[in-house]
């Protein structure tokens, strides 16, 4: 752990109350984010990547709760933090970028209010100054004529502009940590690139970033660290470059194999057989064994713990050494 570690998540557990009993949506999530570091949390839908990040800010639905672990942010544990203290962190110290900006902005509020209100209620600056800052932030994310556009409603902007406006909304206050929950999923590819560049610029300013995505192509663009989740568990974690080079966990390999590479049209896209495991009905041992080509009836029915495969790299598979 270096001194500039911003967030250290250890063994985070989140459970949902459902008709079928308690379901572990996140089961032992650990990672850390330093200043200026971008961590990509990758996985399929339902792998717990989004729930894991939202639980940090206490933004879970009423049926869910954190049942274990800790998340030390700047010396304080976010888990179990009182609402008042949490509110001072939300939006101020930790910003959040949502998947769909259209949905994440109230249709009855102008961009100006959308972008300045939190500056004011966090007591960062006066109303007039907040307006200046909001206009500057809009300009920085490449929105032309920000003075005019700030008076518009979200539905009057194009999808790409809205998404950029939302990044401006989260970054105008200069948070220490930015959680980006699938920020490029709802926009088309030409905009995707712009969004990623903006997030990269934030990172270069020293903001820590947690990037939640299912797209490794997006994740590798500027993220330093990869955290691969499957069925609420971390199956592999390590530096992005090494991970892309040779993923250690069979699931991570499958994920990488099914990523589209436009430059190489000869490469065959692989598919991970089956569908994501039902977390309410988890198999014993390795959760991936039901879909894994390498599954071994003896070894895989035992729980797999995260083992070091190379310096700074861990994977939860007894065969992970075979591939590194």
Partner 1 sequence: MTETDRIDPAERPGPPDSSEPAATAGAAQAQSQFRRAWTRFRRNKLALASLVILAALIVVAMIAPLIAPYGFEEPDYENTLAGPGTAGHLLGTDLLGRDLLSRLIYSLRTSFLVGFGAELAALLVAIVIGLMAGYRGGRAEQLLMAVTDVMFAFPTYLFAVLMVAVLGRSVGAVILAIAIASWVNMARLTRAQTLTLMQRDFVEAARAMGAPGVTIAVRYVLPNAVGPLLVAVSFGIPAAITAEAGLALLGLGVQPPTPSLGGMIQDGISYVTSYPNMLVWPAVMLAVVLLAFTWLGDGIRDAFDTTGTRR
The token duo for 304 is 């797999």
The count of other CB atoms within 10 Å of the CB of residue 152 is: 14
Q: Which of 34, 39, 51, 89 binds partner 1 (CB under 8 A)?
A: 89
Distance CA 142, CA 165 (A): 9
| Beta carbon of residue 267, minimum distance to partner 1 (angstroms, whole number) | 34
Closest CA to 100 of 195, 200, 210, 222: 195
Among the listed residues 22, 109, 241, 303, the single contact to partner 1 using CB under 8 A:
109
- Out of 2, 108, 281, 305, point to the residue binding partner 1 (CB under 8 A): 108
Q: Min. distance of Cβ 171 from partner 1 in angstroms?
A: 12
**CB of 196 vs partner 1, minimal distance in Å:** 18
Question: Which one of residues 5, 102, 295, 324 is an interface residue with partner 1 (CB under 8 A)?
Answer: 102
Which are the contacts of 103, defined by CB distance < 8 A and separation ≥ 6?
none
- Binding-site member from 66, 157, 255, 279 for partner 1 (CB under 8 A): 157
Q: Is residue 74 near partner 1 by the rule CB under 8 A?
A: no
Q: Does 24 bind partner 1 (CB under 8 A)?
A: no
Binding residues for partner 1, rule CB under 8 A, total: 42
| SS3 category, 175 | coil
Binder among 5, 72, 125, 152 for partner 1 (CB under 8 A) = 152
**Both tokens assigned to 203:** 């990172």
Nearer to partner 1, 89 or 226 (CB): 89
Closer to partner 1 by CB, 162 or 253: give it.
Answer: 162
**Structural contact between residues 37 and 69, judged by C-beta atoms closer than 8 angstroms:** no
Q: Which of 8, 30, 35, 59 binds partner 1 (CB under 8 A)?
A: 59
Distance of closest approach, residue 185 Cβ to partner 1, in angstroms: 13
Binding of partner 1 by 131 (CB under 8 A): no
**Contact window for partner 1 (CB under 8 A) among 112-120, 196-204, 210-218, 293-301:** 112-120
Distances (CA, A) of 124 to 173, 175, 220, 272, 280: 8, 12, 34, 48, 44
Tell whether residue 211 is a contact of partner 1 (CB under 8 A): no
Which residues, in sequence order, are bridge partners of residue 64? 16
As given in the structure block, the two tokens for residue 140 are 């920085």
Beta strands 177-181 and 208-213: pairing type? parallel
CB of 16 to partner 1, least distance (A): 16
Q: What distances in angstroms separate CA 66 from CA 45, 76, 124, 261, one per listed residue?
A: 20, 16, 30, 37
Q: What is the DSSP letter of 144?
A: S
Q: Is 111 in the site for partner 1 (CB under 8 A)?
A: no
With CA atoms as reference, report the closest residue to 65 among 133, 102, 17, 121.
17
Residues that bind partner 1 (CB under 8 A): 57, 59, 87-92, 95-96, 98, 100, 102-110, 113, 117-118, 121-122, 144-145, 148-149, 151-153, 155-161, 169-170
């Amino acid at each position: 752990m270096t001194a500039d570690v911003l967030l250290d998540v250890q063994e985070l557990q989140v459970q949902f109350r459902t008709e079928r009993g308690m379901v572990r949506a996140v089961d032992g999530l650990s990672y850390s984010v330093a200043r200026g570091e971008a961590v990509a949390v990758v996985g399929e839908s339902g792998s717990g990547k989004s729930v894991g990040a939202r639980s940090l800010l206490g933004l879970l639905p009423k049926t869910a709760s954190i049942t274990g672990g800790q998340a030390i942010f700047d010396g304080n544990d976010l888990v179990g933090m009182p609402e008042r203290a949490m509110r001072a962190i939300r939006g101020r110290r930790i910003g959040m970028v949502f998947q769909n900006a259209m949905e994440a902005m109230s249709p009855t509020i102008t961009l100006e209010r959308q972008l300045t209100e939190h500056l004011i209620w966090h007591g960062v600056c006066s109303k007039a100054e907040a307006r200046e800052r909001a206009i500057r932030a809009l300009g920085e994310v490449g929105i032309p004529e920000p003075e005019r556009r700030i008076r518009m409603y979200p539905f009057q902007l194009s999808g790409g502009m809205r998404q950029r406006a939302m990044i401006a909304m989260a970054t105008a206050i200069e948070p220490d940590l930015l959680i980006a929950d699938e920020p490029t999923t709802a926009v088309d590819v030409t905009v995707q690139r712009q969004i990623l560049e903006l997030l990269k610029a934030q990172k270069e300013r020293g903001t820590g970033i947690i990037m939640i995505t299912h797209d490794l192509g997006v994740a590798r663009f500027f993220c330093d660290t990869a955290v691969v989740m499957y069925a609420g568990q971390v199956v592999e974690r390590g530096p992005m470059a090494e991970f892309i080079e040779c993923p250690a966990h069979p699931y991570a390999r499958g994920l990488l194999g099914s990523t589209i590479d436009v430059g190489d049209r000869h490469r065959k896209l692989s598919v991970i057989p089956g569908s994501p495991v039902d977390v309410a009905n988890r198999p014993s041992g390795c959760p991936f064994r039901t879909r894994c080509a390498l599954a071994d009836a003896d070894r895989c029915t035992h729980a797999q713990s995260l083992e070091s495969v190379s310096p700074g790299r861990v994977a939860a598979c007894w065969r992970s050494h075979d591939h590194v």
